[in-house]
Amino acid sequence: MAWVVLVVSGVLEAVWATALGKSAGLSRLVPDVVFGAGLALSMAGLAFALRTVPVGTGYAVWVGTGAACTAAYAMLVGDEPASVLKLALLLGIVACVIGLKLAE
């Protein structure tokens, strides 16, 4: 259960990071609300998961998941250019996250 919560928290990290980017310096209401809710839920999930998962592993999975999802979303909606190399590197992050789970 902790691992599922950890991965969902990583996805929520991508939600709040993307909302922060859209908030124009915390000056737009909807992105600000999404940012705050995403941040709170992401941190709560990370805190819950770290009761079971070691902190180094948990933080690496949380950050890796969030970074990969944030970059993939930005490429998908056209905010960031996509390339084969970028996609391969993002898949590498995902592979490392999976590897951390398998190594446990």
Give the tens place of pLDDT for each residue, 37-67. 999 999 999 999 999 999 999 999 999 999 9
Weakly modelled stretches of the chain, pLDDT under 70: none
The tally of domains found in the chain comes to 1
Q: What phi-psi label fits residue 78: left (phi over 0), alpha (psi between -120 and 50 degrees) or beta? A: left
What's the DSSP call for residue 82?
Answer: -
The contacts of residue 20 (CB under 8 Å, 6+ apart) are: 26, 31, 35
Yes or no: say if 100 and 57 are a contact pair by the CB < 8 Å rule.
yes
On whether the pTM is more than 0.75, the answer is: yes
Domain that holds residue 85: 2-103
Question: What is the rounded distance in angstroms from the CA atom of residue 25 to the CA atom of residue 7?
Answer: 27
